[in-house]
Chain A
Amino acid sequence: MQEIHITIKLFAQYREERFKVEQRKIKKGTSAKDIMDVLGISEHKLPLGVLMVNSKHEKEDYILQEGDTLALFPKVGGG
């Protein structure tokens, strides 16, 4: 089974009882949604607001690649 290395960053309420940033080895072909399921973010009371990979907005079905940085935010705003 081929593995790839990714970085996961969490923000705002998603950090509570989880982490700010973590490197992980994952199975090739894993989607961003799979990671959200593993972290319990898919069931979080605050739905996903923004998902970025390497500083660009992506959708949950994005298939992660070697070296990717995945960032997950609940809905946030300000100004």
Chain B
Amino acid sequence: MADKIYRINMNDLSFTIEDVPSEWMGLGGRGLTSTIVAKEVDPQCHPLGPNNKLVFAPGLLSGTSAANSGRNSCGAKSPLTGGIKESNVGGTTAGIMAKLGIKALIIEGLPQDDSTFYHLHVSFEKVEIQQVPELVGKNNFEVLDHMLAKYNKKVAVMSIGRPAEQKMLISNISVKDPKGKLRSHGRGGLGAVMGSKKIKCITVDAEKFNEASANIVDPEKFKEANKVFTKALQENPISGEGLPAFGTNVLVNILNEAGALPTRNFRSGQYDFAENICGETMAENIKARGGSTTHGCHAGCVIQCSQTYNDKDGNYLTSGFEYEMIWAFGANFGIRDLDLIAKIDALMDDLGVDAIETGVTMGLAADAGILAYGDGAKAYEILANDVSNGTPLGRIIGSGCANLGKLYGLVRVPVVKGQSIPAYEPRAVKGQGVAYATSPMGADHTAGYAVATNILNSGGFVDPLKKEGQVALARNLQIATAAVDSTGMCIFVAFPALDDPKCLPALIDMINARFGISLSGDDVLNLGANILKTERAFNIKAGLTSASDRLPEFMNYEPLPPHNLVWDFTNEEIDEFWNF
């Protein structure tokens, strides 16, 4: 039996199961969520109103034995950027949805009775929609415990915390990982969209499932290609050695050394206390205190970049303790104590707020005089009390960096399309700056990771401090990434893919073997290019223009130490990006 579209209508709390239209057959993950959003959502709708839709889609290879294929995409019109959004996550949803034969889960409408929240339980050919007044006002871990007690440990859980119930723009959708901790569809305020639809949590249960969904047309070819692919991941020095040993946080020191670690709300490219918060220090702490340097965010991950982090007494503090979060609250907001950053990380998992948007907003809040730079205790208190309870201050922080900047009359506001800039300084990693400016998602490092080639010597080297070659680099990476985001693959397959000629062909061989098709490398790149164009077209109809493809103006005239460079691309040079 072929895969199906599960469609839930919150207007009348009904569901339908539909055949997959032929034009959606070859799509998965981001390619499918963006295609559905572009086709079915009015680009000019209010993102929190009745006409937005929330779409989940596992990747083309999710649910198979392909290594690192467990990413699930979530798409909608973003209330943060006003444009299209796709945010993907590990956890257990992609595999379980794929097992059930769910090509995409589309949630539309708003319930008539908005006095409470609902729980959606998705199982084979069935969706149960129940009110859950007992979960209203609860944060993620309590919701997770409740669902695991109600069902079984294998059920996939997606949930929102209190900030998303209040439709705050920093809110995300949290997803259970294989160890019962949380990962997130972090960016773009997708939690607020789920909150607007009054959905507190979604469970996906594959106790009974569609045997045929797991069918692979050419199992021998698939197995062979997976072997080559897995070997490429394991033998690559980054995905095979560096990431498992130090996690993503190994980047603190190299970005700091390169003068590209945004510090004190993007005033400098170097942080005097980088050594306190770096991946090497984190790995030393884990070794001394117990915990684990390796943890996979989804089943089938052979990279294991994540970790479990304990306090000085060996008690659990947090897991999934990643570079972006540590940078945002460390260098950019100024906390020097890694353990305090870990406590905030665990709190943000529970609340369900995006680590990047929240951390960058906190850095700007220090500029606004709301709290002092580096005052982690106060930041914790604002999140735990004000943001969670929705006080006026909590709502100001919860509205994200761009809105905070407007409210306080600030100029140094590091956003693109209303979304906070992640942990790589555009003035000192110019290729990444082009990717931030042009991505239909707003400032998003995962949309085209030019850091790889600008800083890490992956896929060759393009000088990060010069303009030459950056537009082409950002374009090629964004096209390839849009395609990879459709397969269900973790973005870190990019490291072997950039340097090992066997890696990408093996990935394409797996797709071909699974579906009995014969895509070429060019077909896959065309898919990526089409996804980008589809997303861009949605944004233009939503009212975004070329003028939205710009970095914040202060970067044009404030030189960034230590290289003392400004952002020096002309508008015409940036607009050249879309020439494909």
Q: How many A-B residue pairs have CB under 8 A?
A: 97
Q: B503 to nearest A CB, angstroms?
A: 14
Q: A19 to nearest B CB, angstroms?
A: 12
Q: B158 to nearest A CB, angstroms?
A: 23
User: Which residues of chain A have C-beta atoms less than 8 A from B238's C-beta?
Assistant: 75-77
Residue in B236, B239, B242, B270 whose CB lies within 8 Å of A12: B242
Does residue A33 face the partner (Cβ distance < 8 Å to B)? no
Residue in B249, B257, B275, B324 whose CB lies within 8 Å of A52: B257
User: Which residues of chain B have C-beta atoms less than 8 A from A12's C-beta?
Assistant: 242, 245-246, 250, 253, 279-280
- The interface size of chain B toward A, counting residues with CB under 8 Å, comes to 45
User: Which residues of chain A have C-beta atoms less than 8 A from B253's C-beta?
Assistant: 11-12, 73
Q: Are A74 and B254 in contact (CB under 8 A)?
A: no
Q: Are A49 and B258 in contact (CB under 8 A)?
A: no
Q: Are B323 and A78 in contact (CB under 8 A)?
A: yes
Q: A61 to nearest B CB, angstroms?
A: 15
Does residue B500 face the partner (Cβ distance < 8 Å to A)? no
CA–CA, A74 and B458, complex, Å: 12
- The interface size of chain A toward B, counting residues with CB under 8 Å, comes to 22
Contact with A along B237-259 (1 / 0, CB 8 A): 11101110111111101100111
Q: Are B245 and A77 in contact (CB under 8 A)?
A: no
Q: B144 to nearest A CB, angstroms?
A: 26
Q: Are B446 and A76 in contact (CB under 8 A)?
A: no
CA–CA, A71 and B255, complex, Å: 12
Q: Are A79 and B246 in contact (CB under 8 A)?
A: no
Interface residues of A in 60-75 (CB under 8 A from B): 71, 73-75
Given the known interface contacts A75-B242, A78-B247, A79-B323, the answer about A11 and B446 at a Cβ–Cβ threshold of 8 Å is: no
Q: Are B250 and A78 in contact (CB under 8 A)?
A: yes
Does residue A5 face the partner (Cβ distance < 8 Å to B)? no
Q: Are B237 and A47 in contact (CB under 8 A)?
A: yes
Q: A41 to nearest B CB, angstroms?
A: 14
Q: A76 to nearest B CB, angstroms?
A: 4
User: Which residues of chain B have C-beta atoms less than 8 A from A73's C-beta?
Assistant: 253-254, 257
Q: Are B280 and A15 in contact (CB under 8 A)?
A: yes
For this complex, 10 residue pairs linking A to B, each with C-beta atoms less than 8 Å apart, are: A12-B242, A49-B237, A50-B455, A55-B258, A71-B257, A73-B257, A75-B457, A77-B251, A78-B322, A79-B446
Further contacts, 10 of them, CB under 8 A, given A49-B237, A75-B242, A76-B242: A12-B250, A15-B280, A49-B457, A74-B241, A75-B241, A77-B242, A77-B492, A77-B495, A78-B242, A78-B248
In order of increasing CB-CB distance, the 6 nearest A-B pairs are A78-B248, A75-B237, A77-B238, A76-B242, A55-B259, A78-B251
